[in-house]
Structure 1
Amino acid sequence: MNSSAKASPWWTPSVHADRRPFLIGRNAIQAALRGFFAREDFIEVDTAVLQISPGNEAHLHAFATEALTTDGQKAPFYMHTSPEFACKKLLAAGEERISCFAHVYRNRERGPLHHPEFTMLEWYRAGEGYESLMMDCVRILALATETVKTGKLLTYRGAESDPFAGPERISVAEAFERHAGVDLLASVAADGSTDRDHLAAELRRVGVRVAEDDGWADLFSRVLVEKIEPRLGFGRITILDEYPISEAALARPSARDPRVAERFELYACGVELANGFGELTDAAEQRRRFEIEMAEKARVYGETYPIDEDFLAALSLMPEASGIALGFDRLVMLATGASRIDQVLWAPVAEVGR
Structure 2
Amino acid sequence: MTDSQWWQPHRHSDRRPALLARNRIQRAIRGWLDDNEFVEVDPAALAVSPGNETHLHGFATQMIGNDGNGRAMYLHTSPEFAMKKLLAAGERRIAAFSHVWRNRERTALHHPEFTMLEWYRVGEDYTVLMDDCADFLMLAAEAAGANTFRFRDVVCDPYASPERISVADAFAEYAGIDLLATIAPDGWTDRDGLAAQVTRSGVTPADGDTWSDLFSRVLADRVEPHLGRGCATVLDRYPVPEAALARRAADDPRVAERFELYACGVEIANGFGELTDAAEQRRRFQADMAERQRIYGEAYPLDEDLLAALEIMPDASGIALGFDRLVMLATAAPSVQAVMWAPVPDPG
Structure 1 residue 341, shift from structure 2 partner: 1.1
1:15 aligns with 2:11: yes
Say if 1:298 and 1:304, in contact at 8 Å, map to a contact too: yes
Structure 1 residue 8, shift from structure 2 partner: 6.1
2:85 is aligned, of 75, 82, 89, to 89
1:279 is aligned, of 274, 278, 284, to 274
CA distance in 1 between counterparts of 2:98 and 2:293 reads 28
Structure 1 residue 212, shift from structure 2 partner: 2.9
* Superposed counterparts of 1:21-170, under 5 Å: 21-149=17-145, 151-170=146-165
CA distance in 1 between counterparts of 2:206 and 2:22 reads 42
TM-score, normalized by length of structure 1? 0.97
Aligned to 1:292: 287
Aligned to 1:188: 183
- For the aligned residue pairs, the C-alpha RMSD in angstroms reads 0.9
Aligned to 2:333: 338
For structure 2, the 5+ residue unaligned runs are none
Aligned residue for 1:24, secondary structure, equals helix
CA distance in 2 between counterparts of 1:96 and 1:7 reads 41
1:258 is aligned, of 253, 258, 275, to 253
1:20-67 residue CA offsets vs partner (Å, 9 max, x unmatched): 001000000000000000000000000000000000000000000001
Q: How many residues align?
A: 347
Aligned residue for 1:318, secondary structure, equals coil
Identical residues among aligned pairs (%): 63
Give the 4+ runs in structure 1 shifted more than 3 A. Answer: none
1:305 is aligned, of 286, 291, 300, to 300
Aligned residue for 1:77, secondary structure, equals strand
Say if 2:168 and 2:180, in contact at 8 Å, map to a contact too: yes
Say if 1:8 and 1:15, in contact at 8 Å, map to a contact too: no
Structure 1 residue 164, shift from structure 2 partner: 1.6
1:13–1:162 distance in 2 versus 1, CA, 3 Å: same
Aligned residue for 1:103, secondary structure, equals strand
Say if 1:274 and 1:324, in contact at 8 Å, map to a contact too: yes
Aligned to 1:321: 316
Aligned residue for 1:30, secondary structure, equals helix
CA distance in 2 between counterparts of 1:167 and 1:346 reads 30
CA distance in 1 between counterparts of 2:118 and 2:335 reads 22
Letter in 2 for 1:137: C
Say if 2:249 and 2:255, in contact at 8 Å, map to a contact too: yes
CA distance in 1 between counterparts of 2:201 and 2:174 reads 11
Aligned residue for 2:83, secondary structure, equals helix
1:54-100 residue CA offsets vs partner (Å, 9 max, x unmatched): 00000000000001111110100000000000000000000000000
Structure 1 residue 313, shift from structure 2 partner: 0.1
1:190-238 residue CA offsets vs partner (Å, 9 max, x unmatched): 1111010100111111121112311100000000011111110000000
1:312-346 residue CA offsets vs partner (Å, 9 max, x unmatched): 00001100000000000000000111111111000
Aligned to 1:3: none
Aligned residue for 1:260, secondary structure, equals strand
Say if 2:4 and 2:345, in contact at 8 Å, map to a contact too: no
Structure 1 residue 7, shift from structure 2 partner: 5.3
* Superposed counterparts of 1:234-253, under 5 Å: 234-253=229-248
Letter in 2 for 1:82: S
CA distance in 2 between counterparts of 1:66 and 1:39 reads 40
Aligned to 1:223: 218
